[in-house]
Structure 1
Amino acid sequence: MANSCFFCIVAFGLLLCFLIAGVESIGVCFGRDGNNIPPANEVIDLYKSNNIGGIRLYDYNQDAFQALRGSNIAVIVDIPDPSAFSSDPSVASSWIQNNIQAFQDVNFRYIAVGNELIPGDLAQHILPAMQFLQNALQSAGLHDRIKVSTSISTGVLANSFPPSAGAFSSDALATLQPIISFLAANGAPLLVNVYPYFNFLNDRDHVSLDYALFTSPGTVVTDGQLEYQNLFDAILDALYSALEKVGGGGVTIVVSESGWPSDGGQDIATQQNAQTYLSNLIEHVGRGSPKRPGSYIDTYIFAMFDENLKEPQGTENHYGLFSPDKQPKYSLSF
């Protein structure tokens, strides 16, 4: 009997591990800045057939919401312009009613109030909009399941090297500090767009391509007791260091965008480099970073399709995992 109980416990433990692992599936951003993008129902079918477990929507596209019903695909939905939400709580309440409560069988996970608006003219509207949306979620009883945040670029960092010296710029921190307090109080993550591609492009004298592509054979940067073999981890941990310095040590980071272009004019924007980066990213995120080893990094790849109208023209038009005809550009396993 004792042996039977032991095996039951082991079996249950293994089942639990598989169930938890099933939740941790990488996502892909669905940008629609193109005149040849397939309709939403076909796009969501493509997510399902490729076992892509998360989607980021840059607007509240109800065709996509309809197609996502019952799929359990984790959803980040953006509010591109928070200004209308920042002064009138009824705007937030109506939005939650019409876009969240109306689609109860969609697995909304995060509401991103603005994308890379800090610092900038719209930054002042972000926190009030977040607060009104949070209140509306609480009134609907959804605040434990859906978290309100904002998505920032790594341009908010004044310093990122070594990772332990990561710190926010004073311009960004004026807006970010109260937002970080809000996130900490509500158990919400900070969404960050992380692109080693740009870090390498802008600092080739100090950053190697292997370091950016996850292919360095050994440690590249030693920071105290922590060792870094890839740039993605170094950027992530610089952000964690910056959060710790302003009382946000308990705030988790969700990587709301990361990718590599396959073409567009830069010599490193190649199909092979993109294949290498993306496949290594997918394989890596389950390991965590040196500051947070073993903690799954919730990550969304940019983007589902090449977007031919995206500006500025060039590499921005070549981040897609699929061509608009739904053919895969890479060999990837989700």
Structure 2
Amino acid sequence: MLESLSPNTRAILLLTGPLLGGRGAAPSELLRLGEYNALARHLRELKRQPADFLGADAEELLRGCHAVIDESRLRWLLGRGFVLEQIVERWESQNIWVLSRADAEYPRRFKSRLRENAPALIYGCGDKQLLNSGGLAVVGSRHMDDVLIDDTMAVCRLAAQAGRTLISGGAKGIDQIAMSAALRAGGRVSAVLADSLAKTVSTREYRHPLLDGQLVLMSPYDPNASFNASLSTQRNKLIYALADVGLVVSASFRKGQTWAGAVEQLDKLKFVPVYVRTTREASAGLEALRAKGAMPWPELQDIGDFENAFSVAVTYPAAPPQTRILL
């Protein structure tokens, strides 16, 4: 029921959520992140918040925001309350939760690192607190061989033994292999999905880890969203934002989402130190990432060696001061 959502989250869902599976809104009708931020900024200037759109003086507030977002557009989006109630009931039957930037449980690292680029909403299933635990982000392309699989599984098992959360994109291929290795070793996993959250939560392999607090599945996209390459690329920054350290185990040179996400991290975002797997054979993609500043992943013998990879000192430019993040 809607009572499980904070009033602000309810309003933000109506304004920005496609509510797929019900009478959703066309992408052109929804508020994009930049538009929502502009509206949230205006609301702050008025000393109001999104929940006030659902209050007794909503009409007055709508008129007061017409210079930022068309009044009729806001009214139409906010009028989807019945659809929202149906969709939320369906999500709750699947143990899917929703958080907005206005909620105290929203991941702290998204707020501190992404600021206004943090998703207005995230959807998920499992223990939300895992999203604040940091850990090792392991990313790689879908092209695999036995050596890559063995190396990845060994790192993920060691992460589990060290008590470090594994952060993954949850995609087919090396992402899912990494997740399985960590979970089977008794470790914790935070997976940032680009699509199909509602389908993924019912995966048999994930059922017990979700219930036992060992796994959290999270997505910035509607639980029923289907695969979209651009959305998959955009979520890369979220994977690194949750981590303490990143490890690229494979990447194609100048192509693919793994390459794009690693380059964005090394050249622009610089949230965490980035390592690349040390390979027996030449890898143009990994070597190019090293040239951009990624470090070679050390040979690990035990948990102490693993922890040393987290203690590396990397100096990044200080972020410019910013005002308090918008709801």
State TM-score, norm by structure 1: 0.24
Structure-2-length-normalised TM-score = 0.24
Normalized per residue, the structure richer in strand is 1
